[in-house]
């Protein structure tokens, strides 16, 4: 067992941290208040290679391995989870799906643009009535000549109002997962509308939207993969996406730990720094252990993927533990900061608000437990 990172992995993680300290950390509070990340950040992240991390070099990416991607997601989560979501969805969910299932024409059309930041992708799976029950989505894609007509609605779609292409999942056949197909929908297609969702608890700078598709006409060449493969594509994407979310949560825990240690050394009560108080060290110790444990779960899942072994359950374990650990760490950080932790002059309240949704999207904590329980017992508890 070798847990050492290679030089390329260490260098890219350090490069990413330096970039984020310069381009994101000084602005994250302002972006959070105005509920919008500066759009110029997308191009800058593209130039650095963040948006093409897992895209092959022949399509304009840098062809990084999944562990390098996870390290980068950790740094993004530490800096600002709203920025992490932009990368995780456009590169991790949409770009990777095109790499794995796209035709050569689709790869040539979209991957170089996604890798450079010229175009962003969004992942249109969740619907108002189908969140965890994704196999029973209602959006329909009806055959019309040599193409399809799509009608329906999606909700809570990251990058929804910024995206140039939406990877949309719609029902082309009967009920259940085998009736779902995937489509690459240019967002300027007539009948496509995105409405931004404001007033979120966390990830406020991230462009989250409802999508409305009314009579959207697409050629057959817009379908990603074969008809009926949509659910498989979605679940495959979400398995890797859970590693990304978990890594981002490690970043939240690490950010809380670093901020809390620095504050505890400076803040004085009863004539001495609060870092010398036993109960403060108790909270800090919990954060430190959670950071290491969550990080190792992420690395294990990424390593399994790189070695071509089954990694879905490991991804669920990483996502479950890391997302819950992020909430614990943010809560502990606010406790150490006291009243100051409750105002947005300090980062820990934002970590708390951003962390809370991590236990919900890309599979709730309860769904992850069911997946883990099924793997252990061989019995499905979903029905």
The DSSP secondary structure of 177-204, one letter per residue, reads GGGEEEEEEETTSTTEEEEE----SS-T
The count of domains in the chain is 3
Whether 377 shows a pLDDT value over 60: the answer reads yes
Q: Is 141 within the bounds of a domain?
A: yes
Query: Which of residues 72 and 362 earns the better pLDDT score?
Result: 72
pLDDT reported for residue 383: 56
Question: Widest CA span of the chain, in angstroms?
Answer: 79
196 with 276, same domain: the answer is no
135 with 84, same domain: the answer is no
Token digits for 140? Answer: 């329909």
Q: Which of 77, 92, 120 is the last residue of a domain?
A: 120
262 with 361, same domain: the answer is yes
Would you say how long the chain is, in residues?
383
CATH of the domain at 58: 1.10.540.10
168 with 260, same domain: the answer is no
Q: Is 383 within the bounds of a domain?
A: no
Q: Band of the pLDDT at 48, cuts 50, 70, 90?
A: very high
Q: Is 329 within the bounds of a domain?
A: yes
CATH of the domain at 184: 2.40.110.10
Q: Which of 60, 86, 120 is the last residue of a domain?
A: 120
105 with 89, same domain: the answer is yes
Contacts of 297 (CB under 8 A, 6+ apart): 246, 314, 317, 318, 321, 322
Whether 378 shows a pLDDT value over 80: the answer reads yes
237 with 371, same domain: the answer is yes
Phi, psi angles (nearest 5°) of residue 132:
-65, -25
Mean per-residue pLDDT, 48-67: 95
243 with 170, same domain: the answer is no
pLDDT in tens, 327-361: 999 999 999 999 999 999 999 999 999 999 999 98
Q: How far apart are CA 326 and CA 74, in angstroms?
A: 12
Q: Which domain holds residue 263?
A: 232-377
pLDDT in tens, 104-157: 999 999 999 999 999 999 999 999 988 888 888 999 999 999 999 999 999 999
Sign of CA dihedral 16, 101, 203, 295: negative
pLDDT in tens, 253-293: 999 999 999 999 999 999 999 999 999 999 999 999 999 99
173 with 270, same domain: the answer is no
pLDDT averaged over the chain? Answer: 96
pLDDT reported for residue 2: 83
258 with 351, same domain: the answer is yes
Q: Is 140 within the bounds of a domain?
A: yes
Q: Is 159 within the bounds of a domain?
A: yes
Q: Is 337 within the bounds of a domain?
A: yes
Whether 1 shows a pLDDT value over 80: the answer reads no
Q: Is 166 within the bounds of a domain?
A: yes
Closest to 107 (Cα-Cα) out of 56, 47, 62, 164: 56
Contacts of 38 (CB under 8 A, 6+ apart): 27, 31
161 with 206, same domain: the answer is yes
pLDDT in tens, 154-183: 999 999 999 999 999 999 998 999 999 999
CATH of the domain at 361: 1.20.140.10
Please report the DSSP string for 272-289 in residue order.
EEGGGSHHHHHHHHHHHH
pLDDT reported for residue 5: 93
Q: Is 34 within the bounds of a domain?
A: yes
237 with 221, same domain: the answer is no
Q: Band of the pLDDT at 81, cuts 50, 70, 90?
A: very high
Q: Which of 228, 253, 277 is the last residue of a domain?
A: 228
Helical H runs in the chain? 7-23, 28-34, 40-48, 66-79, 81-87, 96-101, 104-116, 230-266, 278-306, 312-337, 348-356, 365-377
240 with 363, same domain: the answer is yes
pLDDT reported for residue 135: 85
Please report the DSSP string for 199-244 in residue order.
--SS-TTS-EEEEEEEEEEEEGGGEESSTT-HHHHHHHHHHHHHHH
Q: Which residues pair with 269 in a beta bridge?
A: 272
- Is 105 marked active-site? no
Sign of CA dihedral 92, 96, 98, 104: positive
pLDDT reported for residue 356: 97
Catalytic entry in 75, 127, 210, 362: 362
pLDDT reported for residue 131: 80
Q: How far apart are CA 197 and CA 223, in angstroms?
A: 27
Mean per-residue pLDDT, 192-218: 97
């Amino acid at each position: 067992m070798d847990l050492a990172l290679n030089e390329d992995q260490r260098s890219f993680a350090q490069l990413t941290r330096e970039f984020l300290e310069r381009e994101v950390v000084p602005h994250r509070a302002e972006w959070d208040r105005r509920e919008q990340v500066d759009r110029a950040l997308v191009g800058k992240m593209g130039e650095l290679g963040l948006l093409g991390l897992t895209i092959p070099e022949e399509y304009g990416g840098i062809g990084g391995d999944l562990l390098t991607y996870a390290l980068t997601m950790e740094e993004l989560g530490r800096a600002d989870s709203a920025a992490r979501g932009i990368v995780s969805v456009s590169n991790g969910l949409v770009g990777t799906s095109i790499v794995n299932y796209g035709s050569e024409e689709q790869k040539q059309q979209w991957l170089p643009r996604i890798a450079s930041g010229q175009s962003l992708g969004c992942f249109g799976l969740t619907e108002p009535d189908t969140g965890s029950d994704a196999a029973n989505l209602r959006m329909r894609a009806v055959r019309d000549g040599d193409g399809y007509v799509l009608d329906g609605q999606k909700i809570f779609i990251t990058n929804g109002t910024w995206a140039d292409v939406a990877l949309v999942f719609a029902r082309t056949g009967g009920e259940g997962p085998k009736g779902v197909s995937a489509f690459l929908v240019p967002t300027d297609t007539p009948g496509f509308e995105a409405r931004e969702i404001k007033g979120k608890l966390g990830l406020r700078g991230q462009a989250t939207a409802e999508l409305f598709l009314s009579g959207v006409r697409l050629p057959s060449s817009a379908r990603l993969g074969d008809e009926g493969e949509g659910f498989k594509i979605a679940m495959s994407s979400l398995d890797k996406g859970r590693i990304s979310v978990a890594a981002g949560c490690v970043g939240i825990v690490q950010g809380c730990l670093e901020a809390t240690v620095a504050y505890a050394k400076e803040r004085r009560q009863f004539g001495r720094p609060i870092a010398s108080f036993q109960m403060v060290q108790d909270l800090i110790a919990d954060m430190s252990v959670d950071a290491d444990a969550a990080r190792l779960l992420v690395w294990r899942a990424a390593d399994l993927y790189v070695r071509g072994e089954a990694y879905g359950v490991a991804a669920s374990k990483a996502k479950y533990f890391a997302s819950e650990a992020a909430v614990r760490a943010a809560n502990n950080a606010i406790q150490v900061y006291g009243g100051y932790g409750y105002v947005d002059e300090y980062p820990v309240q934002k970590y708390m608000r951003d962390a809370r949704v991590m236990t919900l999207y890309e599979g709730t904590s309860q769904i992850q437990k069911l997946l883990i329980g099924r793997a252990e017992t061989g019995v499905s508890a979903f029905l």
